[in-house]
Structure 1
């Protein structure tokens, strides 16, 4: 049950639809006022619940305002770790622990602090890893006697030595240890890190700089005028290309926050990558008479940064982004990197202080424009942040009751509901009799394989739900797996037991069950009515088999090698309901969504997304098999197709990715680079 105000609020929503539309369209909906009737009846927390329904991308902003209003501004501002304060509260028996996050390294701060405290020569550092345990132990014992500092880096990389470290810390005797001794540790969050050390130590966490401004500042603070003028004969070019390189580094780091729109996999690019590129830039400028852009792009894009990139589509993105930063056009002192002219080159006479002043004048918050992304990318990023926060809050909820109902009652009701709705497995024998293995029709084999896969999943669902209901009545033992399953059902999440036997999906449980019913219905309709005129590609458990089957049918029909056959693509103008017959060769597919752009039906090309429209339907596509086909070099965008919005996948035993399906050539009036930087892709299934 909802609180009474919220219940009547939902019933009354239609009355003030124009006011709510204004809030929806507002750039700051978290600060907008509700209609007078509700402005005073709902408290601040209930207003956040309302905001989550119509503008989930602004929930974190509303949460910040809520915390600031009720607890104070300092609770929403990043706190800097003052080592002087931490050190003052520490003792020889208290370890000082830096909890690391991606992209941070507090070592430089500690070395600087050691110099200030006159301990630079009495600080012993070791990076833990294989075989370093005995050295670290000897170093710590010596430091305890002599009153030195010991700095053990990356404890998470030496889990087998952690019990020894725990024993050493336990054995530190306050009466016999030198009062100046200090133990400094750094570690990523790790289950192997000793709990006792965490409980007894002083803990600090350092966040990486967020935003292009902060990243540029970190890059330039470490430089000086001597370095800027060190490239003899090409000082001006070096300054221009150096700014370009630092901006490229910042853009790569910040693209990650946009999730799969930025990169399929969030790579851990480091300052080391930037430093080696700086050295190579200086070296190649001095060695070559002409600026060797091809060499610079290859070393930076394919080796230094590209060496970390494991996804081919991400590598394509990195190289296209780099094209904008390593190019002759950036040598113009008036060159701007974005249309808003916020990020631009400086005159070649500029010295180091001028560069620092320029960087400090940049806005704190980045616009998606500098990344080549649409404004909607910020909505995607903010929504993902909201859902992550809410999921964390959900995990912290007590497992006893919900809105007056007992937890077990809720789970039992849900289990019975799912059991009644999910269809029983499809009998395989009649299907194999009706659709036997035929040389000229590979789709029969595809159908049989799909039914086998779906039946396995349906069996798991029915069996596990029946077992859970028995366990809740006390008829069988409630195993760990069933306990986890009940927890997932209660949280509206797909149980791990099911997802292991299922296709990739990001949907919550309610949507996932509805989607499964539609998928099985698609297969059942195929069984009952024969091969459909249009295939719902999102409904396949393993779409790659269907695509191979289509190529195989063509190759066998015309007696050609399947290796020489590939797909041509035609985006159809007819609606789904108007297409009643399958094509002579190839097949029609439907069910794809465009992310990062939209299909412009009038111009029949890819077009810009509309504001707040994150995904749009793609029309029916005709896959036309063709022998020895030449891929067009212009007028198209090579668009990857993925099963889910995460895009990243792993190679399965069949040699196929668990997420990437295939590539479609989508007509485009803009160059490929434009859509590559936009992160445009076709998706089989959304997350709702």
Structure 2
């Protein structure tokens, strides 16, 4: 606010510092001597706490505030309580009566209502009594005025009720990066050159003492002067005191000057280690952002410091100090990365590594040649924003999808890429060769663009535009190239199995640092821990205790912990997420163990599913490990097969072996197909090895009862598909998919040798045959040697499915990286700040949408007759009006907030955040049509919907010649209207009618009149296959063609019993690629191939797709 006062020419004292009104050098020195960090923010926080009249509520996730408070108040009667512990009410009451100091630590966002009178200071007097009283816990207690209370929370971003904020002084004690840098510098120098740091600390203490002494001398002098007689010269002791003070002040000044000279020499040496401290601070604050991805990713400052010291111990020695500092930085980087990445899920490791690399680049730590402008980084993270117009931006390159052409045009706005669209047109064939390469990110671009290999970040931008599906691989390759020893990060722990990783992490653990396993479906942690216990000589049930948590197990678990803590045993507490409330007790117990000191061999192991209910204090102190089961079809098939004992396989008869092998393959396919997201399944299902084992038991029983007769395939398929696996499945199309797989695998051909990849007969690609009944080892060898590919063909999917999967993976990577960007970081200039980006988006939307509204009442009055179609369009107008009203209201409100005329509320901040991230605000989404588009594409789609309704309102008595079904908020109502019109016209029962679809050969622009027996619709896209207009049938997709625009479809209503599905594929139609809950109806599409082929390929009609 000082620059604001200066800008407005308001007179003020030159060099004014508000902090000087609260504290002085002497007070600061005293606070620092009590352990308060020496950075400016900490000094401000300490000054506010020592001066505030309301109760201080300290936000203190790194526990720096609480450490200082304990030291500051140790000379008074100090009571430390938690609201979760027993007897806290009695301790608080005693403190209130006796005037003690209370620290209420680790509070949540909700504070126990019993404290309300204390927070409100609701004290009163009784009659003429001078004593104060307070109602506490339903009783009247005497209130001693010297009572004082501090509140402390470990939450980093708590939200308290307004009344709490009014009763307390909120103080943010979260460490700043510059403050932490100074602390780490001290630790690094103390570790590397302890004598030097010792001298530094002695100087600091001396300076603090000098400042305190000076303040005391001044205070004493002022006091004597204030009490001096009228004739000051007659007061001999006062004159002597003045002389003594002057001499002491002179001595102190001489000592200070001498120490300052020494300090300069020491600081120059210490500063050599600052790059290590700066990178350490950056790394720590990088870790604090990861909890935005998953609640489980929590790291305390104490844990970080432990690995900071470990990295110094592991760094390679060097003769020159500059080389040693470089080694320290690289050791710190890989040590912290390894520690953290072991506790991240596979899908999040590249996010963390990218964050690390981009931060190092921004700071110039990796060299000026890879430092990049923020505009480039924003383009990479946010993606190309140009959507294009078919009229003005027609794509001139036949082989290049429109989305990629529009992206290149957006890239060409940057000076370095001005010529790329023209070069693409002129050297089309050469670019096409690069575009069609399996790994284009590793190939040189054509023409002069090959030079981008020297500036790899700029090449990333080209890959982002032309081959977004290759971006995860491209980013990995980029990191290998620019990060020193980049392969160590990209391949971190790849040479170790899960037991070895567990062993290495165990060596990093201590009695006060548990190992925490974040579980994944199918992962077996206990088996690995059993092996580790044997290696280190711990006997299960004696010195190694395994406790499965659940109701009633808390007492037993606490008993085992006490025994282990005293005697140096190991304890594993399984599935602690089942008892979230007890974990607060566990956290307190671990704090007690840390204060008491545990046996050096004591170790605690915890396991749980990812859960937001796990206390932050538990997560902070642990070394976290994930143990995801191996991915890939081969790994899943091998894992399924070896889950059966060797003896069981060897003793089984031939047909049991064959069917069991087929069942294992079915299980592996069901497990691995999930990676394709909505294309794989409409929903995610928790299939497990238990389903496989139960199916195998049923298989054995059935075949034993059949006594060598014909195999009851129908019964087996029903049990597997409807009960064992089908018991998990709730979506009809997913159930059909499972049964279609079983129809393919469970047949007589399985008993000999059969192709296990569905419908690959006409493909020149991978193959995997079943094995005739054989031995256990032969089956394993067959899986190892013959199953070579994880191609989508193995699942019956088109190879394009991998492009879709990889594109989604890339978008998730960049969306998450964008979310993790600091909001207050100035992006090179004011126009690129988050607020300015949001403001620009706001003005653009208001300019495009304005105050648009459909006058539904006027339209209704203009209609002579309102039929089913008119009702549908009127409802659409109503729905879109509600949406437009919310858009206008929220944007006008946010604009007032930007102008300072309204206080920014949470809702307004949420809209601002969405505009900055190019997302549709949540309040709009609730009222709008389902969509997976970014905000820019969503607005374009909204405008197109408004255009369709505008055109209808010109002549509302008729329906459009061809209705853009995808442009309706409720497309089902339009299909129902078709059936209603037919039911009225033909006197039929509505509930006995269904929609029949006929795909005609015309485009919407070629249709000159409405359908006579239904309604023409357009705007549907086929995914997973293409529509062959010449033969009017479903056919295989062309390579890299993700969506095929359908011609006009004639929808008409017929009686359900007259619907002929012969030679047709009943194709589900969804509003978005998300599928699942966006289902609309099923269309009949003619096919020459078996419909089962398209079921396994996940073929569906999608209404709203990206630019194609």
Q: 1:346 and 1:406 mapped to 2: Cα distance? A: 62
What does residue 1079 of structure 2 align with? 660
Q: Which runs of 5+ in 1 are unaligned?
A: 650-658
What does residue 1071 of structure 2 align with? 643
What does residue 450 of structure 1 align with? 876
What does residue 466 of structure 2 align with? 54
Instruction: Give the 5 Å matches for 1:271-310.
Output: 271-289=689-707, 290-310=710-730
What does residue 656 of structure 1 align with? none
Q: Structure 1 residue aligned with 2:930, among 504, 507, 514? A: 504
Q: 2:827 and 2:420 mapped to 1: Cα distance? A: 21
**Higher mean displacement: 191-200 or 338-347:** 338-347
Q: Structure 2 residue aligned with 1:392, among 811, 816, 820? A: 816
Check if 1:376 corresponds to 2:794: no
What does residue 735 of structure 2 align with? 315
Change (3 A) 1:601 1:33: same
Kept after mapping to 2: 8 A contact 1:566/1:629: no
Check if 1:545 corresponds to 2:969: no
Q: Deviations over 1:637-660 (max 9, x none)?
A: 0111100001011xxxxxxxxx11
Q: 2:739 and 2:753 mapped to 1: Cα distance? A: 24
Instruction: Let me know the Cα RMSD of the aligned residues.
Output: 2.2
Query: Residue 517 of structure 2 aligns to a residue in which SS?
Result: strand
1:685 Cα offset (Å): 0.5
Q: 1:402 and 1:61 mapped to 2: Cα distance? A: 27
Kept after mapping to 2: 8 A contact 1:436/1:444: no
1:626 Cα offset (Å): 1.9
Query: Residue 308 of structure 1 aligns to a residue in which SS?
Result: coil
Kept after mapping to 1: 8 A contact 2:1017/2:1050: yes
**Higher mean displacement: 573-582 or 395-404:** 395-404
**Higher mean displacement: 659-668 or 158-167:** 158-167
What does residue 151 of structure 1 align with? 572
Q: 1:229 and 1:445 mapped to 2: Cα distance? A: 68
Q: 1:333 and 1:627 mapped to 2: Cα distance? A: 45
Query: Residue 641 of structure 1 aligns to a residue in which SS?
Result: strand
Q: 2:891 and 2:780 mapped to 1: Cα distance? A: 62
**Higher mean displacement: 184-193 or 616-625:** 184-193
Q: 2:976 and 2:930 mapped to 1: Cα distance? A: 20
Q: 1:14 and 1:119 mapped to 2: Cα distance? A: 72
Check if 1:327 corresponds to 2:747: yes
1:204 Cα offset (Å): 1.1
What does residue 35 of structure 1 align with? 446
Q: 1:158 and 1:434 mapped to 2: Cα distance? A: 64
Max Rg structure: 2
1:67 Cα offset (Å): 2.2
**Higher mean displacement: 41-50 or 10-19:** 10-19
Kept after mapping to 2: 8 A contact 1:568/1:624: yes
Q: Deviations over 1:254-291 (max 9, x none)?
A: 11111222111122211111121222222222221332
1:177 Cα offset (Å): 3.4
Query: Residue 723 of structure 2 aligns to a residue in which SS?
Result: helix
Q: 2:665 and 2:492 mapped to 1: Cα distance? A: 24
**Higher mean displacement: 473-482 or 169-178:** 169-178
Query: Residue 171 of structure 1 aligns to a residue in which SS?
Result: helix
Change (3 A) 1:604 1:474: same
Q: Deviations over 1:458-513 (max 9, x none)?
A: 00101111111110110101111111211111111111121111111001000100
1:436 Cα offset (Å): 6.5
Q: 1:603 and 1:10 mapped to 2: Cα distance? A: 36
Q: Structure 1 residue aligned with 2:857, among 429, 446, 456? A: 429
Q: 1:443 and 1:379 mapped to 2: Cα distance? A: 40
Check if 1:215 corresponds to 2:636: yes
Normalising by structure 1, what TM-score? Answer: 0.93
Query: Residue 159 of structure 1 aligns to a residue in which SS?
Result: coil
Kept after mapping to 2: 8 A contact 1:263/1:314: yes
Change (3 A) 1:49 1:406: closer
Q: 2:905 and 2:756 mapped to 1: Cα distance? A: 62
Kept after mapping to 2: 8 A contact 1:93/1:174: no
What does residue 476 of structure 2 align with? 64
Q: Comparing both chains, which one has the higher relative contact order based on Cα–Cα distances under 8 Å and sequence gaps of 6 or more?
A: 1
What does residue 479 of structure 1 align with? 905
What does residue 353 of structure 1 align with? 777
Kept after mapping to 2: 8 A contact 1:634/1:671: no
Query: Residue 409 of structure 1 aligns to a residue in which SS?
Result: helix
Q: Which runs of 5+ in 2 are unaligned?
A: 1-374, 377-413
Q: Structure 2 residue aligned with 1:75, among 489, 494, 515? A: 489
1:524 Cα offset (Å): 1.7
Aligned residues: 673
1:14 Cα offset (Å): 4.1
1:341 Cα offset (Å): 6.4
Q: 2:629 and 2:756 mapped to 1: Cα distance? A: 27
Check if 1:86 corresponds to 2:86: no
Query: Residue 604 of structure 2 aligns to a residue in which SS?
Result: strand
Kept after mapping to 2: 8 A contact 1:162/1:194: yes
Normalising by structure 2, what TM-score? Answer: 0.59
